[in-house]
């Protein structure tokens, strides 16, 4: 498990699937704000289900978010998607279950996911894309240190309207400066490796492309 101050990121397990599907996918209005693809009815045990357990993938890493203060209760999902090992870049996405929103867990989850991307996967750039009216995710990205790079005007068809998308990015050297250490060319410093404990990857990854927008957090 990867541990932050409030949350942990661990591999998805079978008991997570039904909960994530019911609370994150079957909420049609909210799901439509987080996924560029049109919503359609899918059974949680379908091969097309977004939270089903699949083998790990080189271009995708899926985690379950757990609340460390509540006995590691399932709190949502976090993903590193579009991992490009040649250009050393990827995108970040998180979705918290409704009961866990508004607790400041999103900032911690994004920070831990960034640490994983930079120090474990050796990435150079991470990106976040979210709807322009998703105030919670906008604040989260800026608090973690992402730079607002631009706006894709009316790029997202969401529940009957076109909305703007905001694009954020952060480079590894910016992350290193914010966290008081020199940029790493490999898998991170010894201290960082000790802080980020090994994650059990049995059942990582999903079968479908990751969402390209984030839920309200």
Domain segments of the chain: what residues?
2-195
Stretch 130-148: mean pLDDT, rounded?
A: 97
CA-wise closest residue to 212 among 130, 154, 119: 130
Q: State the pLDDT confidence band at 180, using cuts at 50, 70 and 90.
A: confident
Counts of helices then strands in the chain (DSSP H, E) = 6, 8
**Calpha distance 46→50 (Å, rounded):** 9
Residues 193 and 185: their CA atoms lie apart, in Å, by 14
Tokens of 120: 């474990």
Pairing between β-strand 125-131 and β-strand 89-96 as defined by DSSP bridges: parallel
Burial zone of 110 (CB within 10 Å; 0-12 exposed, 13-18 middle, 19+ buried): buried
Band the pLDDT of 184: cuts 50, 70, 90: low
Taking alpha carbons only, the member of 13, 1, 10 closest to residue 198 is 1
Distance CA 61, CA 110 (A): 14
| CATH-assigned architecture of domain 2-195 | 3-Layer(aba) Sandwich (3.40)
- Of 183 and 146, more confident: 146
CA pair distance 135, 116, nearest whole angstrom: 25
In the prediction, which pLDDT does 56 show?
Answer: 86
For residues 145 and 194, give the distance between their C-alpha atoms in angstroms, rounded to a whole number: 23
State the chain's mean pLDDT as an integer.
87
Reading the block at residue 12, the tokens are 């998805």
């Amino acid at each position: 498990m990867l541990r932050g101050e409030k949350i942990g990121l661990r591999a998805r397990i079978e008991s997570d699937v039904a909960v994530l599907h019911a609370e994150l996918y079957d909420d049609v209005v909210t799901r439509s704000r987080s996924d560029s693809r049109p919503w359609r009815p899918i059974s949680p045990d379908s091969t097309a289900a977004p939270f089903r357990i699949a083998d790990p993938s080189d271009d995708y890493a899926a985690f379950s978010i757990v609340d460390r203060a509540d006995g590691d209760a399932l709190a949502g999902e976090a993903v590193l998607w579009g991992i490009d090992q040649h250009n050393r870049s990827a995108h970040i996405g998180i979705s918290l279950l409704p009961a866990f929103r508004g607790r400041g867990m999103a900032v911690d989850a994004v920070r831990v996911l960034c640490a994983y991307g930079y120090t474990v996967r050796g990435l150079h750039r991470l990106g976040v894309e979210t709807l322009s009216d998703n105030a919670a995710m906008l604040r989260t990205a800026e608090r973690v240190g992402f730079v607002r790079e631009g706006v894709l005007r009316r790029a997202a068809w969401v529940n009957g309207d076109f909305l703007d998308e905001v694009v954020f990015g952060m480079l590894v050297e910016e992350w290193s400066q914010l966290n008081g250490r020199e940029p790493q060319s490999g898998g991170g410093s010894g201290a960082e490796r000790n802080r980020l404990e090994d994650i059990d990857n049995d059942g990582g990854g999903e079968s479908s492309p990751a969402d390209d927008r984030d839920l309200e957090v």
